[in-house]
Structure 1
Amino acid sequence: MTTGIPRTSYSFGGMIMVRYKGTLHAAAIFFACLMLIPKHSALAQTDMMQMMRQRLLTTSGTAEVRVPPDQLEVRLGVEIDAATASAARQQNAARAARVISALKSLGIPESSITTSVFTIDPVRRFDTSGQQGVPPIVGYDVTNIITVRTSQLDLAPSIIDEGVRAGANRVDAVVFGLKDDAAARQTALRQAVANAQNNARTLAASLGLTLVQVQNVQAGGTGVVPPPVTFRAEALSAGASTPIMPGTVTVNATATVTYLIK
């Protein structure tokens, strides 16, 4: 065994190495360093090796649940252009007040009627074509959007019709939804997990494998899709009542299941 004063010492890959007059004595120090590795780290490495040796099968599942809506939201409003901001605001305020009064006459409480958007914007344009630069301000546009929420789904046509008669010239959205979608989400998620399990059984059977136990389950998320509502803009000025059909709300979910197999 060579002894003497070390010339150099350094570390490499977590192992301390000392060179004695040209002879590298690393083995003993390496094993000494192994003794310093925390026990939990060694166990983690063992678990990782075991997982690498395991045979796993991962499948995904989807589900879609359709439920009737129980909440209606209508966004309608008044948009006014005038030469001055003050004039546009005053005209808009008068018409918006009539719209709100008409909505209340339908039995909708004031607490269910809110102002969701209010803007005053300058209107810029050139008087003639071919002009360049920043267009001058020729007027002002004032927009007041009112949101109505109610559980009376059959009021949708009346809200639009009476609102337009009172002065509304915009209908931005008609949305049928759910007050509480938690139950529907849970149902969709359970069905998505069941679908993933059925897919795993089908794959295992076709490949001659056996499902031992569930190793991991992950929820991919859930989503709520309201039914689409469309209507023609010219219906706002027509004499007939606006037909609105609520349809159904779609709640979807995805899930991933990993099985230990043999």
Structure 2
Amino acid sequence: MTEADGEPGGLTVTGVGRVRAEPGLARVALVVEVVEPSPDLAFRNAGEAVSRLRGVLRRHGLADEGVSASRLALASEFDGYGTGRRFVGYACRAAYGVETEALDGLQRLIVDVVAAGAQRIDGVEFDVRDREALGDEARRRAVADARRRAGVYAGAAGVRLGPVVSLRDLEAGHAQAPGLRAGAGGGPAGDLAPGAVELTAAVRVGWALIP
């Protein structure tokens, strides 16, 4: 994309840079949920499920400080709508976020946490370890892409690129590898290989033009 930069003889071009890398870690979002007829029973059974879950995570080498958790939440649970709506009990929920670099054991981890009492796996997100370095490489490629495009336009117009007069980071962000989801009914199916993680950067660069 090009546009006039407000200066006579100027040229502004947007460049995009992408870097693909194998993921080095995974973040698993899981939920413990217990529905019981009384609040006390819901809290007690949810607490037992959380204890089992913590034990499974420790056996997989995940220390307590590496597990983020929300507080236990209690809410009335209903089924149906309108006049057919009926009270089914008290739902006690706790959501956890688990980060692991042991990707080879990820499927076994998910199966084990479901067996321990995690009723839902809300998502599996893959990421890279050194995001900052890869992001810098994407930015360098974005500048190179902008320079290449600008050179094509300048050559076609019979002029040369002069000094850079403006530079703006467009914060293109990044696109992660596809996330994976698995339900509690029988565990995840198939291979959990995530493919590559892609980081993207965009920059808008303005040049003076030399006849």
TM-score by length of 2: 0.86
> Aligned pairs, how many?
206
**Inter-partner Cα distance in structure 2 for 1:260 and 1:240:** 56
Q: Residues 54-65 of structure 1: matches in 2 within 5 Å?
A: 54-65=8-19
Q: Tell me the alpha carbon deviations over residues 160-215 of structure 1, each in whole angstroms, 9 at most, x when there is no partner.
A: 01111112211011111123311011100010011011111101111222222211
Identify which of 74, 78, 93 aligns with 2:47.
Answer: 93
Match of 1:121 in 2: 75
Identify which of 233, 242, 254 aligns with 2:202.
Answer: 254
Query: Identical aligned pairs, as a percentage?
Result: 26
**Inter-partner Cα distance in structure 1 for 2:79 and 2:115:** 31
Say whether the 8 Å CA contact 1:161–1:241 is kept in structure 2: no
Q: Which amino acid is 1:65 matched to?
A: V
Q: Which amino acid is 2:83 matched to?
A: Q
More strand by share: 2
**Inter-partner Cα distance in structure 1 for 2:202 and 2:188:** 43
Q: Tell me the alpha carbon deviations over residues 27-63 of structure 1, each in whole angstroms, 9 at most, x when there is no partner.
A: xxxxxxxxxxxxxxxxxxxxxxxx9663211111111
Q: Which amino acid is 1:131 matched to?
A: T
**Inter-partner Cα distance in structure 2 for 1:53 and 1:239:** 61
The CA RMSD measured in Å over matched residues stands at 2.5
Runs of 4+ in 1 over 6 A off after TM superposition: none
Q: Which has the higher contact order (CA 8 A, sep 6+)?
A: 2
Identify which of 20, 28, 32 aligns with 1:66.
Answer: 20
| Larger deviation, residues 188-197 vs 61-70 | 61-70
Deviation for aligned residue 1:140 = 1.6
Deviation for aligned residue 1:228 = 0.9
Say whether the 8 Å CA contact 2:174–2:201 is kept in structure 1: no
Q: 2:160 aligned with 1:206, yes or no? A: no
Match of 2:99 in 1: 149
**Inter-partner Cα distance in structure 2 for 1:175 and 1:229:** 5
Match of 1:103 in 2: 57
Say whether the 8 Å CA contact 1:153–1:246 is kept in structure 2: no
Q: Tell me the alpha carbon deviations over residues 75-122 of structure 1, each in whole angstroms, 9 at most, x when there is no partner.
A: 212111122222211111111211211221222222222314532112
Rg comparison, structure with higher value = 1
Identify which of 105, 129, 138 aligns with 1:179.
Answer: 129
**Inter-partner Cα distance in structure 2 for 1:117 and 1:201:** 57
For residue 106 of structure 2, give the secondary structure of its aligned residue in structure 1: helix
For residue 221 of structure 1, give the secondary structure of its aligned residue in structure 2: coil
Say whether the 8 Å CA contact 2:74–2:91 is kept in structure 1: yes
CA spacing shift, 1:116–1:158, aligned 2, 3 Å: farther
Match of 2:83 in 1: 131
Deviation for aligned residue 1:226 = 2.0
Say whether the 8 Å CA contact 1:160–1:242 is kept in structure 2: no
TM-score by length of 1: 0.70
